[in-house]
Amino acid sequence: MGEIILKGVTKRFGEVEVIPPIDLHINDGEFVVFVGPSGCGKSTLLRLIAGLEDVSGGVVEIDGRNATEAAPAERGLAMVFQSYALYPHMTVKKNIAFPLKMAKLPPEEIEAKVQAAAKVLNLANYLDRRPGQLSGGQRQRVAIGRAIVRNPEAFLFDEPLSNLDAALRVNMRLEISELHQSLKTTMIYVTHDQVEAMTMADKIVVLQAGRIEQVGSPLELYRTPRNRFVAGFIGSPKMNFIEGAEAAKHGAHAIGIRPEHIKVSTSEGAWQGTVGVSEHLGSDTFLHVTTEYGVLNVRAGGEVDLHHGDTVFLSPDMAQLHRFDQQGWALT
Amino acid sequence: MSTQASRTAARLMISPAVLLLLGWMIIPLGMTLWFSLQRYNLLMPGMESFTGFDNYTYFLTDPAFGAAIFNTLALVLGVLTITTVGGLLLALLLDQPFWGQGVVRVLVIAPFFVMPTVSALVWKNMFMNPVNGVFAHLAKSVGLQPYDFLSQSPLASIVLIVSWQWLPFATLILLTALQSLDSEQLEAAEMDGAGPISRFVHVMLPHLARAITVVVLIQTIFLLSTFAEILVTTNGGPGTASTTLTYLVYIQSLLQYDVGTGAAGGIIAVILANIVAIFLMRMIGKNLEA
Ligand SMILES: Nc1ncnc2c1ncn2[C@@H]1O[C@H](COP(=O)(O)OP(=O)(O)O)[C@@H](O)[C@H]1O
Ligand SMILES: [Mg+2]
């Protein structure tokens, strides 16, 4: 159904190679998240799959068919754009009905499908409004509605939540996840936010400068990052890296330890330091501790009563230590 | 932002400008109204007298009046059709990326900078002239009889000349509007299965509605007063074949020295222009609302 395979897909804009040859296998029904810093080529890769950009080399297969040369509409994919790209002069109903109208479905069938989509997305009361009269979250839902009525092989989302406020983002994240549970359609989701990636994905593809750094489930990436980039990108707050003599003790060029794998004590421990900033969140406390290895992020319990200037001792959990070589590859 | 005090201050400060503009408009209008009720002929100075609505009767029953109304409408509608359709096509073309885009865009705007008199003369003498004109040469080179545009189809020729002048305006406005269209909307439509024509009809055209309205309204206002092009090419002839309302007013006041009837014609032209304006606003004015 919605199986997508990229074989040596490349993209150049003039002289600049934005995407070096990439191989990727996306299984039917999977929720795949492309994550990476801004400008790393996530949108470009998504647009190559959608057919909105021509590949410079390689093959895109959808459902076992070679779709490299197929027009966007022929690929059976639906896309939700970052700007939503709703048609401003059409009502919500007409927006959602547009792809069906283009497919020349009979009016009764269109009506039924639009009503069904509106019900799923809680839009039934807004069908006669124009996009300009809707809130950000509602527009987002209209864009999703326009995508689901087509019954696509796969959904493509390009940073769909980046224009929403924090609370709404959490809500929509849940709604999209639930939608995936109920539709069981392949979804490819682009974001620069690793929290979205970790919470929603079946499979995360970490990109940097157009290259795939690692592919795996959220926990795989968290537990066994393949290199320093992935280790630093996945997980919040960021992993601490220590180089030099301390790393050499573990036979590595650099060692990495996540904030949640460091134990804090006021009396004894491996490394001594001074608390710089402490962020009390209630459930957790994030400490920025200045040590001889630089500033380390530490996650302590919510009730920890430590403040600026306090002396603390840190003990890393040796079982959770990550070791990296000169080139940044993980040592096992 | 705006408090009672700041609003009062704002009104006070713009009032001189408003008063000046009002006077600017009211005084000529008032004088025209006054002249239109006078028997006032430049050949008989000192004989001015009040005649009531006689001037209006003369103007409306002038055999040229019917032709002038028809010609005015034909000119306005013809130029509007050619410039909006042509402007739309040109804008679509210029919106495509191609080599030398910048130069071509400047060239397209160029006709707008040429004075109406000059461009009409260039058309008359260098293109449409049945002996020396480019079109005549072209016709002769393929063995055809040269066509005398300005005497055979004077109104159509003037429509062509005026369209050539206004095409850049329409193109420019529509091109800017086209460029302000979010490309993601077009891509979304493409993914939704809309072909090029559907994309044009369902996404581009609605986006351009406001710009098209602006083009139609502004051009109508200016086209109703087209004058120089007629004066230097056909002088309103042959007969009344290219006499418009504006030109008829000119004939009355400056060729027949009858200022009174000319003024009456001017007032009639103002009334008709307002009828057209109301009609237009009713039809397409809603496009201008946000
Ligand atoms: N149409 C284009 N022409 C030239 N360069 C482009 C074009 N689109 C994107 N790029 C470049 O490709 C790179 C990746 O862009 P993009 O895929 O939008 O990144 P992301 O979505 O990950 O932020 C960027 O460096 C960007 O400048
Ligand atoms: Mg992007």
The pLDDT-based confidence of A196 (bands split at 50, 70, 90) is: very high
Residue ranges of E strands in chain A: 4-13, 16-26, 31-35, 57-62, 65-66, 77-80, 154-158, 186-191, 203-208, 211-216, 240-243, 254-257, 262-265, 271-280, 284-291, 294-301, 311-316, 322-324, 330-331
Q: Which two tokens stand for residue A110?
A: 């269109």
Q: Which chain A residue lies closest to B194 (C-alpha atoms)?
A: A102
Measured in angstroms, how far is the CA atom of residue A41 from the centroid of ligand 1? 6
Residue ranges per structural domain of chain B: 58-289
At residue A323, does pLDDT exceed 90? yes
Pick the residue whose CA is nearest to atom 21 on ligand 1.
A43
What is the mean pLDDT of the segment spanning B71-82?
95
Closest by Cβ to B198, choosing from A82, A85, A102: A102
- Shortest CA gap B86–chain A (Å): 24
The predicted-structure confidence for A257-294, as pLDDT tens digits, reads as follows 999 999 999 988 889 999 999 999 989 999 999 999 89
Q: Is B31 helix (H, G, I), strand (E, B) or coil?
A: helix
CATH of domain A237-331: 2.40.50.140
Closest by Cβ to B182, choosing from A72, A73, A85: A85
At residue B30, does pLDDT exceed 90? yes
The pTM (predicted TM-score) of the whole model is 0.82
Q: Which two tokens stand for residue A115?
A: 């009503």
Measured in angstroms, how far is the CA atom of residue A204 from the centroid of ligand 2? 16
Contact assignment for B206 to A99 by CB distance below 8 Å: no
Contact assignment for B190 to A102 by CB distance below 8 Å: no
Q: Is A39 in the pocket of ligand 1 (CB under 6 A)?
A: yes
The predicted-structure confidence for B51-73, as pLDDT tens digits, reads as follows 888 888 888 888 889 899 999 99
What ipTM describes this predicted complex? 0.85
Using the atom order of ligand 1, give the atom closest to the CA of residue A44. 17
The topology under which CATH files domain B58-289 is MetI-like fold (1.10.3720)
Q: Which two tokens stand for residue B261?
A: 């009837």
Q: What percent of chain A has pLDDT over 90?
A: 78
What is the mean pLDDT of the segment spanning A68-95?
92
Q: Which residues of B touch A (CB under 8 A)?
A: 182, 184-185, 187-194, 198, 202-203, 206-207, 209
At residue B290, does pLDDT exceed 60? no
Residue ranges per structural domain of chain A: 4-230, 237-331
- Shortest CA gap A310–chain B (Å): 49
Predicted local confidence at residue B98, as pLDDT: 83
At residue B189, does pLDDT exceed 70? yes
- Give dist(CA B169, CA B83) in Å, integer: 9
Q: Which residues of B touch A102 (CB under 8 A)?
A: 192-194, 198
The predicted-structure confidence for A14-42, as pLDDT tens digits, reads as follows 899 999 999 999 999 999 999 999 999 99
Question: Position of tokens 């093959």?
Answer: A59
- Give dist(CA B156, CA B74) in Å, integer: 9
Pick the residue whose CA is nearest to atom 27 on ligand 1.
A39
Q: Which residue has the higher pLDDT, A59 or B152?
A: A59
- Shortest CA gap B19–chain A (Å): 39
- Count residue pairs from A and B with Cβ separation < 8 A: 56
Contact assignment for A73 to B188 by CB distance below 8 Å: no
Predicted local confidence at residue B1, as pLDDT: 61
- Shortest CA gap B170–chain A (Å): 22
Q: At what angle do helices B54-61 and B259-284 cross, to 10 degrees?
A: 70
Please give the class, per CATH, of domain A4-230. alpha beta
Ligand closest to Cα of A46 equals 1
Predicted local confidence at residue A317, as pLDDT: 92
- Give dist(CA B78, CA B83) in Å, integer: 9
